[in-house]
Chain A
Amino acid sequence: MKKIMIDPITRLEGHGKIAIFLNDDGGVANVYFQVPELRGFEKFSEGRPAEDMPQITQRICGVCPEAHHMASTKTLDALFHVEPTSAAKKLRELLYSAFYVTDHTTHFYILAAPDFVMGPDAPPAERNILGVIAKVGLELGGAVIRTRHENHWVIQTIGGRPIHPCFGLPGGVSKAINEEERAKIEEIAKSSVEFGKLSLKVFDDVVLKNKDYLDMVLSDTFTHRTYSMGLVDENNKVNFYDGKVRVVDPDGKEFCKYVPRDYLKHLAEHVEPWTYLKFPYLKNVGWKGFVDGKDSGVYRATPLSRLNAADGMTTPLAQEEYEKMYSTLGGKPVHYTLATHWARLIELLYAAERMVELVQDPEITSTDIRNIPTAKPDEGVGIVEAPRGTLTHHYITDERGIIKKCNLIVGTTNNYAAFYMSVKKAAEDLIKPGKEITEGLLNRIEMAWRPYDLCLACATHSLPGQLPLEVTIYDAQGNEIKKLSQGIS
């Protein structure tokens, strides 16, 4: 039997690797997606003061520290039985929306766009952000850099630090913003809305108007019928910061909707001996292995899943785009994995519009930003929608607020079974007996997991999606017969 290793030992040095075993006839026998590192946060959080958890757990991931900081801070609200002030909630959500704008911008332009703008078969040297800028124009490149830079300033201004913020406390936040800061954030929010609109236009021009790409989006190779998960508000509209977790089945019917403290009634995690990362699944459907469909507990928690799990968006421009996506792709729910890129841009626009709403709220400069907890801490669960999936923190403390038990189900982990299946299916469909394994073909396999915006940081720490491939093909005796490598920026 032949073994093909897709091992990102170059750019990620083993923080995610794929083994493809071939039959003697050259078809795919099996695929394994391994995550070769464990961070160990759940154990060493034991013994720490609960109020330090927002700053401790964000060190899981320097790419999305805001998500851990926020989930942890909300867990503290529940743990200490304290409701944050209204202004504090708005400041948290404002920072979180700015974070979404930067994060989705990074993913779309630096990681996803090269495949579509340059084409999946373009030489790797051109298939990167510089190639994209050369093709679509310096002006857009400047807008990408400016949007990221300005929204990082928003994060530092509200959160105290540019990477690993420090402002979250049970019952509120540690600092307010003044009118001068507010006015600048408002400008940034408005230009982020324009940037969101522009990004959807780029997607429309480059992907939707190109029949080859659209066919690829709609192809079975990049489709999985799974359950979809996402956080929704009281009207079942998408919300990143707060609400209930809603899951819809592969037909789009509501399967369950739960408040954070009930997550254990709905989720469980499966363990395999060949990887350090666990596989979450819907407990009430059950673990049936790496298969999709209604009888398998595998679910997805991605931008597309969030849109599938919700009834719409609360902001006008994003709602328009939401309706356009579903009418173009044949109604809800959508299971085309590559459409996740589209959903991500709709979310980017929503996050920017939400920034404008929040920063124009008269309460946003209020100094009433803290409620001091008075109850004894015991147990709390906090959930936010991280860009890469529903993020759950759960702490149990003693009466002094010292962590006794900690459980974390993080963004990318939710999707482990799903992105593994996506890679497997793409490999099975694309690697055929007698067909040469080219660099472009390997890139198409990579395109199967790039929509998930893999941030193995939360389990390993690779930057999202930047998984270059090194493929070694072995013959039945284990001799190396061919080596191909590629790097994708």
Chain B
Amino acid sequence: MAKLKIALYWAASCGGCDIATLAIGEKILKLAEAADIVFWPIGIDFKYADVEKMPDKSIDACLFNGAIRTSENEHIAKLLRAKSKLMIAYGSCSYEGCIPGLSNFYNRQMTFECAYIETPSTDNPEKIFPQTKVKVPEGELDIPEFYDTVKTLAQTVDVDYFVPGCPPEEKTTWLALEALIEGKLPPKGTVISHSAKALCDECPRTREEKKIKKFYRPYEIIPDPEKCLLEQGLLCYGIATRGGCGALCPQANMPCTGCYGPVEGVIDQGAHFLSALSSIIDSNDPEEIQRIIDDIPDPAGTFYRYSLPDSLLRRARIK
């Protein structure tokens, strides 16, 4: 059997997904046996121009991490889509927009004004902003355009599979790679993880009845190490988050923040969490319910911590 041709790419991301790909450890040898990596900016020296010269659909699969935030990110996403038989959104940024997607609460102008004028260490009396094209005495310089809105990969090109996580855990990464290597591909659109259900299913903490009278912030209490964090009033997102990571954060006494995305069949993770929470608030008195909910300091930024660009909201409307 001919070896698979695989490409890996990063767009607007932190590099953690690339580190996570390396974290498969010795299995990287198995990968090397089954596949040639034809393009990987951090690891392999093939040129962007080489990719352009490849025939369309000549790459078997592209693992694309990072969101789409600049003109360059978009250009390369389209190029790699054209060259690849399978396009895989690897990691939360390309799948859902992730933390950089919180930018969608603001716009480019606000982001620029903050970075280049308002920040207290910035000394910029002439109010200079970076420009996509700048004339300097010796010639012209250019940098890519910074978009108003962060988009997911699937909002930019057709995507075949999604791998969740910020970053995906080692076993999740291997699940996806193994499916590719063995040619046992799930239906198009599948989110590849060991679990389709909520994280609570794999969390070792004991659960009783969820009845919440008060929400606490993580710094306010020392939680019982054995009991469900949500039942103790901590805003643990496990109830509305796909499992597969092994419940790492709850085992470190910290609430899940939702990085594995929605459970199977849910379109909007934030709305799902909100509705799940409202069913466990222990009150029928509207005023008391309001008081309990008021303890949640940043509902939009918490419920959509990783999924704002991919949500039904997509972005805030800026007046």
The answer to whether B18 touches A463 (Cβ under 8 A) is yes
The answer to whether A42 touches B114 (Cβ under 8 A) is yes
A274 to B219, CA, bound (A): 42
B26 → chain A closest CB, angstroms? 10
The answer to whether B115 touches A42 (Cβ under 8 A) is yes
Interface string of B1-41 (1 = CB under 8 A from A): 00000000110111111111001010000000000000001
The answer to whether B45 touches A489 (Cβ under 8 A) is yes
Q: A13-B9, A37-B70, A161-B248 in contact; A42/B120 too (CB < 8 A)?
A: no
A19 to B42, CA, bound (A): 21
**Which residues of chain A have C-beta atoms less than 8 A from B254's C-beta?**
160, 166-167, 174
The answer to whether B128 touches A12 (Cβ under 8 A) is no
Nearest-CB residue, chain B, relative to A396: B120
A408 to B114, CA, bound (A): 11
The answer to whether A13 touches B252 (Cβ under 8 A) is no
A69 → chain B closest CB, angstroms? 12
**Which residues of chain B have C-beta atoms less than 8 A from A167's C-beta?**
252, 254
A424 to B46, CA, bound (A): 26
The answer to whether A32 touches B111 (Cβ under 8 A) is no
Of B14, B42, B252, the residue contacting A11 (CB under 8 A) is: B42
**Which residues of chain A have C-beta atoms less than 8 A from B102's C-beta?**
44, 48, 56
Q: 25 A-B pairs, CB-CB below 8 angstroms?
A: A3-B138, A10-B46, A12-B41, A13-B10, A14-B72, A21-B138, A30-B137, A34-B143, A43-B103, A47-B105, A48-B298, A49-B301, A49-B302, A55-B257, A56-B102, A80-B219, A149-B25, A160-B251, A164-B16, A166-B249, A271-B130, A274-B143, A370-B222, A373-B219, A405-B118
Mostly helix, strand, loop or mixed at chain A's interface?
loop
> How many B residues, CB 8 Å from partner?
82
The answer to whether B47 touches A175 (Cβ under 8 A) is no
The answer to whether B17 touches A62 (Cβ under 8 A) is yes
Of A62, A278, A487, the residue contacting B13 (CB under 8 A) is: A62
A30 to B136, CA, bound (A): 10
The answer to whether A457 touches B14 (Cβ under 8 A) is yes
The answer to whether A267 touches B45 (Cβ under 8 A) is no
Nearest-CB residue, chain B, relative to A45: B102
Of B118, B120, B218, the residue contacting A394 (CB under 8 A) is: B120
Not counting A30-B137, A30-B138, A273-B131, a sample of 7 additional A-B residue pairs whose C-beta atoms are within 8 angstroms of each other reads: A9-B47, A59-B14, A62-B17, A272-B130, A275-B130, A457-B14, A461-B12
Q: Does A38 reach chain B (CB closer than 8 Å)? A: yes
List residues of A whose CB falls within 8 A of some B CB. 1, 3, 9-14, 19, 21, 29-30, 32, 34, 36-40, 42-44, 46-49, 51-52, 55-56, 58-63, 65, 76, 80, 124, 149, 152, 159-164, 166-167, 169-171, 174-175, 263-264, 267-276, 278, 280, 283, 287, 370, 372-373, 394, 400-402, 405, 407, 409, 457, 461-463, 466, 468, 470, 485, 487, 489
**Which residues of chain A have C-beta atoms less than 8 A from B48's C-beta?**
9-10, 13
A372 to B143, CA, bound (A): 46
**Which residues of chain B have C-beta atoms less than 8 A from A401's C-beta?**
217, 297
The answer to whether B45 touches A468 (Cβ under 8 A) is yes
Q: Does B287 reach chain A (CB closer than 8 Å)? A: no
Q: Does B253 reach chain A (CB closer than 8 Å)? A: yes
Interface string of B232-256 (1 = CB under 8 A from A): 0000000000000000110111100
The answer to whether A278 touches B219 (Cβ under 8 A) is no
**Which residues of chain A have C-beta atoms less than 8 A from B47's C-beta?**
9-10, 470, 485
The answer to whether A38 touches B16 (Cβ under 8 A) is no
The answer to whether A273 touches B19 (Cβ under 8 A) is no
A42 to B119, CA, bound (A): 8
A206 to B220, CA, bound (A): 54
Q: For chain B, residues 50 to 81, give those with C-beta under 8 angstroms from any C-beta of chain A.
A: 50, 66, 69-70, 72, 76
B84 → chain A closest CB, angstroms? 16
